[in-house]
Amino acid sequence: MVLLRLTSLRFPRALEARLSLATLLIVALTFASSPNVAQEEEAPPAAAQAKPAAKSMTVVYLGKEYQEPLPLSFAEKVITDKGIQGARQKLKEANQAGGFLGYSFELEETILPEDADVVAKAKALLAAGNRYFIADLEPDDLLAVADLPEAKDAIILNIRSSATRLRQEECRKNVFHIIPDYAMRADALAQYLILKKWPNWYVMRRDTPEDQDYLAQVQRAAKRFGGKIVEDHLYDLPPGARNLDSGHQQIQAQMALETERSPDHDVVWAINSDDDFGDYLMYRTTRPRPVVGTQGLQATAWDKSYTESGGMRFQRAIPRIANRPPVERDYTAWLALRTLSESAQKSGSVEPETVKAYMLSDDFRLEAFKGQALSFRTWDHQMRQPVILGGGTRVPVGTSPQEGFLHPKHLTDTLGFDEPETKCKF
Amino acid sequence: MKSFGLATVCAAALLLAAAPLAYAETIFVSNEKDNTITVIDGDTMELVTTIETSRRPRGIILSPDYKELFVAAGDGNIVDVIDTSTLEIIRQLDSGPDPELMDVDPEGKIIYIANEDDSMVTIMDLKSGEVFAEVPVGVEPEGMAVHPDNTLTAATSESTSMAHIIDNETFELVANVLVDSRPREAKWTKDGKELWVSSEIGGTVSVIDPATWEITHKISFEVPGVRPEQLQPVGMDFVKDEALIMVPLGPSNRVAVIDTKTKEVVDYILVGQRPWHGEPSADGKRYYVANGLTNDMTIIDLDTMKATKSVPVGRLPWGVAVMPGKTAAQ
């Protein structure tokens, strides 16, 4: 492990004083009237609108209308356009920026019914020449598309699945992960709990494949950071109705019962991907203990409480087009298209090979409201990023990595699988 | 701190009573979270008063004749104009949504305002507020700088990572230069031959040649023991007759000093937490920088390049403006 606590260890970083011409793109559309600009022949008067030799990139948004768990509260709107709205927002921005430099971007929205054949559709899209995909797909569908022989030179950006196997044993060379995985989420929370000196965790969970994955990562985080799972408790009562007259009385009794026999602990770590009981835990446990995990305090790429580092712009932009606040998948979709449009403009090419090389290079330093540059881990193509701790509080509780969790290269590599731990082999 | 003899102090006191000292000045600091401007007497470093503004004051500049102070209030969607003598808001400019940074042309007639949430630069008459043009630029415009000869204006766009150059006669874009991530401030040298742009997330300062619109130098920062991602250049101010440029580096709690000739970093000065924007004193001997997280302003002596003092201001201080002379309130 390359993790170091409270010890500063840095590699010297070469001074990047020299100018890299490749990262420079200059459009100097000139006017006769502007004295400081070299005269060029027949520059059109509306320089800003003119698009010299446009380079165009088409990005496919490939998704499925999977059935998702309903929000536990009736008061919460059921959202059926998660993700795509973020991509649409970024498309506007990308064309606004690209227009100045002669780039244009198109988004091909392909959202299929749940029972549709996504592989056949992907084949057709690939045959039509598409190479850029924002994948709003569950792991099996994602892998089926990525493993198509014709997708070998495609760039597929996973914005939906946190499954660790996609970054580990089942990583793919043509797949990049924008969304944090369960390992990053568990580490982000664990660092905070250790910082707070709350090392004893009572896990309450269901047993879906997602829950099992998250549990394994909480166990891993406990080992990494010195936490302890005092008990792994399977919650197996059937989910209640979403709305029940006097239901709160029953819930009140149930949650107290479920938590009273547990060994003493500092927090309850809820692992409940189906979102059918986790929220009931808060303020109803036998001992007065905070709740973290998939409910309560959550580790997330975006949160409705997040306003820092220009984040208000995204908070305001999504409601304008979607009539609702942004959710995490809107952000990851926005970030996916931003990754592609920035890489095209900065590398000067819309060819997948060049774009991919740029995405994996040290020059790729993406700004995305997180106060520091985001980039990709070369060993598993996971986007390294700070993770917000929020999910219900009016202001964020914090952002991980936490102070004191140091890493020789990137502090954000203390979240998730670091290079020596990776099981990914491209 | 130098120690003065009693006689000197007495002499100074007498002088003070008789007439304002040559370096008498007033410092204005915008406090983003308090919705106020802190007014400080530059001689005594004492608080003169606190002015309430519209919501979320950030960008703060003076008119060329120092008679008016312009405060961009982002959440108020307005620019407050404050009389620097009476310290009262005398009018407001309908800046368009979310104004952040501004600049005024050398003649003091036109104000250029970056509308962060609207991807526009609003160009308006300083007195009447009449809008001459709204120029679409990249996403999240921030830095604004009018060329010294008043022919061009540079605007940076944070999200698009560009410096856009506006022709001041036609209000059209003449060039768009791609720089590193999240460009913040733009500053021209007095001779107009260099445009300096800070890139917060990219962690670099670019120097652009307006003859070719190419980046001729890119300066990065390195401090032993400080994580590279914390070295984020935000503000930029020329000092010492442009021999040096001061660059507050946000989360690293330092101000970098760059030699403008060699384009090399010559010093890093430890200040308060999250230094954001600053301004040199009227006599050019000191540099004042607003520290967002420690709610104070650090004074740097430009001869010794040492932080000498810090002065408490409001919450989340953002920017500084310095006026020679005093206000009526003093």
Give DSSP secondary structure letters for A253-318.
HHHHHHHHTSPP-SEEEEE-TT-SSGGGGTTTSSS---EEESSSBEEES--TT--TTTHHHHHHHH
Query: Would you call B250 helix, strand, or coil by DSSP?
Result: helix
What's residue A273's pLDDT? 95
Q: With a cut of 80, say whether residue B43 has pLDDT above it.
A: yes
Q: With a cut of 90, say whether residue A26 has pLDDT above it.
A: no
Question: Around Cβ A426, how many Cβ atoms within 10 Å?
Answer: 11
What's residue A239's pLDDT? 76
Q: With a cut of 90, say whether residue B72 has pLDDT above it.
A: yes
Cα–Cα distance, B166 to B184 (Å, whole number): 17
Residue at token pair 């592609």: A340
CB-nearest to A8 from B211, B225, B263 is B225
Q: With a cut of 80, say whether residue A244 has pLDDT above it.
A: no
A252-311 pLDDT per residue, tens = 888 888 899 999 999 999 999 999 999 999 999 999 999 999 999 999 999 999 999 999
Cα–Cα distance, A198 to A86 (Å, whole number): 36
Across the interface, whether the CB atoms of A33 and B170 are under 8 A apart is answered: yes
What's residue B20's pLDDT? 43
Across the interface, whether the CB atoms of A33 and B169 are under 8 A apart is answered: yes
What's residue B329's pLDDT? 78
Q: With a cut of 80, say whether residue B14 has pLDDT above it.
A: no
pLDDT tier for residue A45 given thresholds of 50, 70 and 90: very low
Query: Would you call B51 helix, strand, or coil by DSSP?
Result: strand
Cα–Cα distance, B110 to A39 (Å, whole number): 27
Q: What is the pTM of this model?
A: 0.86
A158 to chain B, closest Cα gap in Å = 22
Across the interface, whether the CB atoms of A48 and B173 are under 8 A apart is answered: yes
pLDDT tier for residue A247 given thresholds of 50, 70 and 90: low
- Token representation of residue A46: 């509306």
Residues 6+ apart with CB under 8 A from B27: B39, B40, B41, B42, B279, B288, B297, B320, B321, B322, B323
Across the interface, whether the CB atoms of A10 and B227 are under 8 A apart is answered: yes
pLDDT tier for residue A40 given thresholds of 50, 70 and 90: very low
Q: Is the ipTM of this complex over 0.90?
A: no
A352-382 pLDDT per residue, tens = 999 999 999 999 999 999 999 999 999 999 9
**Contact assessment for residue A123 and residue A148, using Cβ atoms and an 8 Å cutoff:** yes
**Contact assessment for residue A232 and residue A206, using Cβ atoms and an 8 Å cutoff:** no
A89 to chain B, closest Cα gap in Å = 12
**Contact assessment for residue A136 and residue A64, using Cβ atoms and an 8 Å cutoff:** yes
What's residue B96's pLDDT? 87
Q: Measured between beta carbons, which residues in chain B are less than 8 angstroms from residue A15? A: 220, 222
Mean pLDDT of chain A: 88
Residue at token pair 């506007």: A92
Q: With a cut of 50, say whether residue A35 has pLDDT above it.
A: no
What's residue A8's pLDDT? 37
Across the interface, whether the CB atoms of B158 and A310 are under 8 A apart is answered: yes
Cα–Cα distance, B320 to B288 (Å, whole number): 7
What's residue A68's pLDDT? 92
Q: With a cut of 60, say whether residue A53 has pLDDT above it.
A: no
User: For residue A189, which of A32, A419, A391 has the smallest C-alpha distance?
Assistant: A391
Q: For chain A, give the percent of residues with pLDDT over 70.
A: 85
| Angle ∠(A96,A42,A104) on CA atoms, nearest 5 | 20
Q: Is B43 exposed, middle or buried (0-12, 13-18, 19+ CB in 10 A)?
A: middle
Q: Which amino acid is at A67?
A: Q
Instruction: Determine the average pLDDT of the residues in B209-218.
Output: 97
pLDDT tier for residue B17 given thresholds of 50, 70 and 90: very low
Q: With a cut of 80, say whether residue B178 has pLDDT above it.
A: yes
Q: Is B88 on the interface with A (CB under 8 A)?
A: no
Q: Measured between beta carbons, which residues in chain A are less than 8 angstroms from residue B213? A: 26, 28, 37
Nearest CA in chain B to A15: B220
Across the interface, whether the CB atoms of A367 and B161 are under 8 A apart is answered: yes
pLDDT tier for residue B116 given thresholds of 50, 70 and 90: confident
Instruction: Determine the average pLDDT of the residues in A303-322.
Output: 95
Cα–Cα distance, A179 to B177 (Å, whole number): 31
| Angle ∠(B19,B23,B26) on CA atoms, nearest 5 | 95
Q: With a cut of 90, say whether residue A5 has pLDDT above it.
A: no
Cα–Cα distance, B288 to B268 (Å, whole number): 15
Question: Count of H helices and E strands in chain B?
Answer: 1, 28
Across the interface, whether the CB atoms of A8 and B139 are under 8 A apart is answered: no
Across the interface, whether the CB atoms of B218 and A16 are under 8 A apart is answered: yes
**Which residues numbered 114-173 in B keep a CB inside 8 Å of some CB on A?**
116-117, 119, 135-136, 138-140, 147, 149, 151-152, 157-162, 164, 167, 169-170, 172-173
What's residue A193's pLDDT? 98
pLDDT tier for residue A242 given thresholds of 50, 70 and 90: low
